[in-house]
Amino acid sequence: MKIASQKVLSFLCFVSLSCSSYAAIMEEVVVTAQKREQNAQEVGIAINALTGDQMDQLGYTNAQQVTAMAAGVSTVQPNGESNYSIAIRGVANSDFTTNVESPVAVYLDDVYISQMSGTGFMLFDMDRVEILKGPQG
């Protein structure tokens, strides 16, 4: 009886040690959605965030691949591969002329990209991507 209980106890110790090592792997995702660095769980808006390392591991090279992973976000390529129209929760552009301003704002290094023709950039050397859903003001 003692031998069986010692085996069970040693197995439970092994399981608890391996579970604690998995808990330490979870990393904090820092976003700047509200113009300051915050934990993604503390931001009061719906957000999807990917780090540059995550995009590299997933093999993402353009914005269309990133928007495919976010719920409620889609892209349309009306005028070729480098020209995207992004839709978030049904809000999208219905005029696919390349010089029309999109109702979905795109910022690259805090610079607003006003026209759809500027959204076809590649994702190399990108630190992170944040997709904010809802009105941002």
Domains of the chain and CATH, by start: 29-133 (2.170.130.10)
**Phi, psi (rounded to 5 degrees) for 74:** -145, 160
Long-range pairs, 108-113, Cβ under 8 A, ≥24: none
Taking only the tens of pLDDT, the chain with its 137 residues reads 555 444 434 444 444 444 444 444 556 667 776 666 777 677 777 888 888 888 899 998 888 888 888 888 888 776 666 667 788 887 877 776 667 777 788 888 888 887 777 777 777 888 888 888 877 65
How far apart are the C-alpha atoms of 126 and 134, rounded to whole Å?
24
Q: pLDDT at position 125, please?
A: 82
Residue given tokens 């690259």 in the structure block: 108
> Rounded to an integer, what is the distance from CA 55 to the centroid of its chain?
9
Q: pLDDT at position 12, please?
A: 41
Alpha helices by DSSP H, listed for the chain, are 2-25, 52-58, 63-69
How far apart are the C-alpha atoms of 123 and 89, rounded to whole Å?
23
Q: pLDDT at position 57, please?
A: 92
